[in-house]
Amino acid sequence: MIEIKDFTKKISIIAASLMLLSVLIYYFVPAIKISAGFPFILIFLYLITLLVFKMIANSMRNKMSQFANTFMLVNFGKLIFFIFVIVIYAFLNMEDAVSFTLTFFIYYFVFTLYEVFSLLQLKS
């Protein structure tokens, strides 16, 4: 079973690894377009993932129906918020919109994959 402290440690390692990989790609493989705002995207998603995991993990201590409601509402709210952030950024920075969206999606996918994996371990 994974604890919140363990989750924080492992997600920090994942974030640091993503940061290192992104810096290497950004500077040494310019053919792959990564948004110049990648450090901000990474920090933003890291903090949101920590917050969401703590909220959902705390709801698991109560009834299963409360966990299901919390999980669905938090993830729906998170997706709506992320879409809003992407659309606003794309509107304000049209030349970087595609790179930003792809970078955001890749980071989001990695963090969400680990979050779900950790929640499954927490449930066991």
Q: Which residue has the tokens 């363990």?
A: 6
Residue-range definition of the domain harbouring residue 83: 4-123
At residue 62, φ and ψ (nearest 5 deg) are -100, -155
Specify the number of domains making up the chain: 1
Residues 9-34, mean pLDDT to the nearest whole number: 95
Query: Do residues 42 and 23 lie in contact, with contact meaning Cβ atoms separated by under 8 Å?
Result: no
What pLDDT is stored for residue 68 in this prediction?
A: 84
Would you place residue 124 in the very low, low, confident or very high pLDDT band (cuts 50, 70, 90)?
low
pTM above the 0.75 mark?
A: yes
* Residue 62 pLDDT level (bands cut at 50, 70, 90): confident
Exposed/middle/buried for residue 61 (C-beta within 10 Å: 0-12, 13-18, 19+): exposed
Which tokens is 117 given?
Answer: 């994996």
State pLDDT tens for residues 74-123.
Answer: 999 999 999 999 999 999 999 999 999 999 999 999 999 999 999 888 77
Token readout for 94 is 């049209």
- Please give the share of the chain, as a percent, with pLDDT higher than 90: 77
Computed over every residue of the chain, the mean pLDDT equals 92
Residue with tokens 């997600």: 11
